[in-house]
């Protein structure tokens, strides 16, 4: 009798999930993985690494110990009267996003754009961004970014 009640409860729960349109299989880590290819121009190397949805491109590179960004720091939220975040403060993590994925990264913040235009000058490209300001989404899976050889490398001074 108890086995029959448990079976009915399971089938009732399954039909409830189906009625609500929820997936019957649980979410997996692979649903959250975003593969990103970095072209490290200084090292003449192309590296594809997995990141997680919600990580920044900088966090992903740091997680895989890629020396591409020297001592770049994560950006706080862009400063405004609501967040009072720090925003980006360096261009050491300058990347050039492939045109196919630039729109998916969203528009650069005002502070990010100011930094890039002020400090990168002739190295600034139409699809330039700061790696600390790009939050990975599932739509960015397969994205390619160039890490320019003009990025300052402070690693030897640390």
For residues 59 and 137, the answer to whether their CB atoms sit within 8 Å is no
Dihedral sign (CA 156, 46, 28, 102)? positive
Report the first-to-last Cα separation within the chain, whole angstroms. Answer: 71
Of residues 95, 106, 101, the one with CA closest to residue 68: 95
Give the residue carrying structure tokens 């961004």.
129
How far is the C-alpha of 1 from the C-alpha of 7, rounded, in Å? 10
Taken as a whole, the chain contains a residue count of 158
Q: What is the number of H-type helices and E-type strands within the chain?
A: 4, 5
C-alpha to C-alpha distances, 2 to 23, 73, 144, 148, nearest whole angstrom: 28, 59, 56, 66
pLDDT class for 5, splitting at 50, 70, 90?
Answer: very low
3-state DSSP call for residue 97? strand
Confidence of residue 131 (pLDDT cuts 50, 70, 90): very high
Percent of the chain scoring above 70 in pLDDT: 65
Phi, psi of 110 (to 5 degrees): -55, -45
Is the whole model's pTM more than 0.85, yes or no?
A: no
Superfamily of domain 28-157 in the CATH hierarchy = Beta-grasp domain (3.10.20.30)
Q: What are the residue boundaries of the structural domains of the chain, listed by start? A: 28-157
How confident is residue 9, by pLDDT bands cut at 50, 70 and 90? very low
- Does position 149 have pLDDT exceeding 80, yes or no? yes
- Measure the CA–CA gap between 47 and 149, rounded to whole angstroms: 15
């Amino acid at each position: 009798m108890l086995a029959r009640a448990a079976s009915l409860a399971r089938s009732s729960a399954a039909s409830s999930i189906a009625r609500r349109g929820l997936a019957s299989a649980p979410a997996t880590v692979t649903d959250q993985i975003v593969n990103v290819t970095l072209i490290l121009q200084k090292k003449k190397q192309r590296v594809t690494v997995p990141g997680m949805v919600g990580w920044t491109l900088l966090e992903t590179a740091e997680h895989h110990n890629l020396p591409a960004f020297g001592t770049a720091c994560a950006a706080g939220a862009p400063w405004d009267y609501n967040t009072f975040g720090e925003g980006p403060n360096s261009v050491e993590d300058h990347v050039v996003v492939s045109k196919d994925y630039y729109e998916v990264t969203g528009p650069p913040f005002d502070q990010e754009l100011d930094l890039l235009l002020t400090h990168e000058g002739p190295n600034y490209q139409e699809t330039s961004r700061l790696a600390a300001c790009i939050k990975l989404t599932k739509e960015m899976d397969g994205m390619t970014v160039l890490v320019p050889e003009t990025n300052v490398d402070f690693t030897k001074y640390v």
